[in-house]
Amino acid sequence: MSLPPFKVLRPRSIDEAVGYLEKHVANIRVLAGGTDLIPSMRQRLFSPEYVLDLSGVAAMRGVRPQSDGGVEIGSLTTLRVIENSGFLRQHYPVLAEAAATVASPVLRNMGTIGGNICLDTRCLWYNQSLTWRKGCGFCIKKDGDLCHVAPGGTKCWAAFSGDTPPALLCLNTEIEIAGPSGVRRIPLQDFYTGLGDSYRKLQANELVTRVFLPASSADYRGVYRKLRVRGSIDYPLAGVAVVMRHSSNGHSIGHIADVRIGITAVNPAPLLVKGATDLLAGKEMNDLLAEAAGDLAAKTAKPLTTSALTPEYRSEMIRVFTKRAVLAAAGMN
Amino acid sequence: MKKELIELRVNGRLHELAVEPNAVLLDVLRQELQLTGSKRACDDSSCGACTVLLDGVAMMSCTMLAISCEGQEITTIEGVSEHGSLAAIQKAYGDWGGAQCGFCTPGFIMTVKSLLAENPDPSEADVRAALSSNLCRCTGYNQMYDAIRSAIKAEREGSAVTK
Ligand SMILES: Cc1cc2nc3c(=O)[nH]c(=O)nc-3n(C[C@H](O)[C@H](O)[C@H](O)COP(=O)(O)OP(=O)(O)OC[C@H]3O[C@@H](n4cnc5c(N)ncnc54)[C@H](O)[C@@H]3O)c2cc1C
Ligand code: FES
Ligand code: FES
């Protein structure tokens, strides 16, 4: 299947890119690595008049450690560069680990961190060819007004299925957004709406330009666990990220000083598990506590029949992975 | 749709081409340049049959616009042989039965080339991880691992692949 017709714009700088977005705001799509956008255009989920190819904007690439101990990552940086970055593996291991599970090695040579953050939400009834969708009845997210997942409902439940955002949320990540009225910087947590259709707060004339990991989240232990059908290529059907820091207590590992848990692929947005810090901080890890963390995460997960595995199984795996991940982060697996 | 004039460097040769802006690299290679070694199999960016190298790095040619590849060195399976004879990895694939119908083979070989360029002495786990980008629906994968292992050995020892 070929792609719909469009014109390609190839800016060399962020200003030029934003200028193009502003000029063609009604009908333009941003192309980074293309591993989400190109398959989606093939399926006619998007048929823009203009495609803004960012690949020539060199200023948007690279992992740049900052003097305060934090790091700034250009949004066009590939997932391959992130998983292989010695700096990130050492200081922000949960991000490197999550990046290394995305799709397949070849797709990670192409896919970018900005594209992973902006990734479209997914559903069995949405990520299909035009013919398929026409045959089954167009849904709320594209061209129709019904929902196959929650019949009679008016809300879209497509699941956010990126692997790095739960890790980034745990790290208190901020992102920089550039638009015609300048740049703004927001917590990643405020980027997602929780809706399956208009899932992100990004205007059509805006770009995500940089990703900031603060020094205050450096050097946490990190673990990412992912449920997929095959061991490679597949999107997550449930994912859990955990970061943890222990109080220093001579040479033995002390009690948990701080902890955050993020989940993905089971709601229309990646989410931090509320109450995780209250539950675990100040305590020493044990099996019962890990069970309780699992139960809490499973309550935050609201999977529906948006993918090939049942919601019950995905929810149960959030519970199991959270338990295993907090134990692993505490050095107890 | 108005075509655009672009220059693509493929297997060391520069081609000036008029392409539609929405043309993917795979179609330009196969239809404009008659380089039909790269295959389209899945059409949903998941199988790797279309894998080529861009500046030495493996990428899926079905999932990139030809227009975005200007200024980069593209290598396809047709550019893998050395001085007119088969590269070690190609010969090993034949000797060890790494290909059955052969449709996936060009993609696998490009993935292996990119792995070896980055890491000339990969472990078994490295090879398996790298190959997880490509799907084969015919063979067991074991013959492929055997072929790759013998090609790596031959490269390292500077000897011919032997079975
Ligand atoms: C077979 C297959 C398997 C996959 N498996 C996984 C998986 O396991 N886990 C996973 O997380 N992903 C998976 N993906 C999706 C994808 O490869 C990654 O999410 C990748 O990081 C997307 O980045 P990209 O640069 O290719 O995005 P693109 O396709 O270029 O863009 C994705 C979306 O974000 C927008 N966008 C991109 N960059 C910006 C920016 N800087 N500013 C504003 N908007 C922007 C685009 O307009 C588009 O809407 C898979 C894809 C395929 C084809
Ligand atoms: S044809 Fe390109 S990945 Fe399958
Ligand atoms: S040999 Fe037939 S698909 Fe691999």
pLDDT of residue B154: 85
Spatial separation of the C-alpha atoms in residues A113 and A57, rounded to whole Å:
15
**What distances in angstroms separate CA A286 from CA A254, A276, A280, A323, A330, one per listed residue?**
12, 15, 10, 10, 9
3-state secondary structure of B131: helix
Answer whether B45 sits within 8 Å of A107, measured CB to CB: yes
CA atoms within 13 A on the CB side of B58: 30
Give the DSSP letter string of A269-324: S-EE-TTHHHHHTTS---HHHHHHHHHHHHHH----SSSSS-HHHHHHHHHHHHHH
- Give me the residue spans of the domains in chain B: 4-79, 88-157
CB A233 within 8 A of CB B133: yes
In chain A, whose CA is at the least distance from the CA of B126? A105
Q: CB distance A110–B59 less than 8 Å?
A: yes
List the structure tokens of A174. Answer: 């901020």
Residues 6+ apart with CB under 8 A from A204: A21, A25, A26, A28
Superfamily for domain range B88-157: [2Fe-2S]-binding domain (1.10.150.120)
Q: Do A106 and B46 touch (CB under 8 A)?
A: no
Q: For the domain made up of B4-79, give the CATH fold.
A: Ubiquitin-like (UB roll) (3.10.20)
Residue minimizing CA distance to atom 4 of ligand 3:
B136
User: Any residues with Cβ below 6 Å from ligand 2, and which?
Assistant: B 40-43, 45-50, 60, 62
Report the gap between the CA of B110 and the closest CA in chain A (Å): 10
Residue A131 near residue A172, CB atoms below 8 Å:
no
ipTM above 0.85, yes or no: yes
**Closest residue in chain B to residue A11, using alpha carbons only:** B68
Percent of chain B past pLDDT 90, that is, above it, reads 83
CB of B22 within 8 Å of any CB in chain A?
yes
Token match 């919601």: residue?
A: A311
Most ligand 3 atoms within 8 A of CB, residue of B105, B111, B142, B143 to mutate: B105
Give the number of the atom of ligand 1 that is nearest the alpha carbon of residue A76.
41
Residue with tokens 């490679």: A232
Residues A176, A212 contacting (CB under 8 angstroms): yes
How many angstroms separate the CA of residue B94 from the nearest CA in chain A? Answer: 24
* Residue B11 near chain A (CB below 8 Å): no
Q: How far B19 CA sits from the closest chain A CA (Å)?
A: 12
Q: What is the mean pLDDT of residues B61-77?
A: 97
Domain boundaries defined on chain A = 1-56, 61-119+159-329
pTM: 0.97
Nearest beta carbon to residue B45 from set A7, A38, A55: A38
The label of the residue with tokens 């250009």 reads: A74
Q: Report the side by side order of strands in the sheet with A50-53.
A: A7-9, A50-53, A28-31
Per-residue confidence at B68, pLDDT binned at 50, 70, 90?
A: very high
Residue in this structure with the two tokens 């083979």, named with its chain if needed: B105
pLDDT of residue A254: 77
pLDDT given for residue B163 in this prediction: 76
- Give the residue among A331, A303, A305 at the shortest CA–CA distance from A317: A303
CA of A127 to the centre of ligand 1 (A): 14
Cβ atoms within 10 A of the Cβ of A194, count?
A: 11
Q: What is the spatial order of strands in the sheet that A63-65 belongs to?
A: A63-65, A71-74, A207-213, A174-179, A182-187
Question: What phi and psi, each to the nearest 5 degrees, are found at residue A57?
Answer: -90, 85
Which tokens in the block code for residue A287? 């099996």
Q: What is the pLDDT of residue A126?
A: 97
The answer to whether the CB of B88 falls within 8 A of the CB of B154 is yes
Domain A1-56 has CATH 3.30.70.20: no
Classify domain A61-119+159-329 by CATH architecture: 2-Layer Sandwich (3.30)
pLDDT at residue number A251: 62
Instruction: Considering every ligand atom shown, identify the ligand nearest to the alpha carbon of residue B62 and give its number.
Output: 2
pLDDT tens-digit map of B109-149: 999 999 999 998 999 999 999 999 999 999 789 999 999 99
Ranges in chain A, pLDDT < 70:
249-252
Q: Which residues pair with B102 in a beta bridge?
A: none
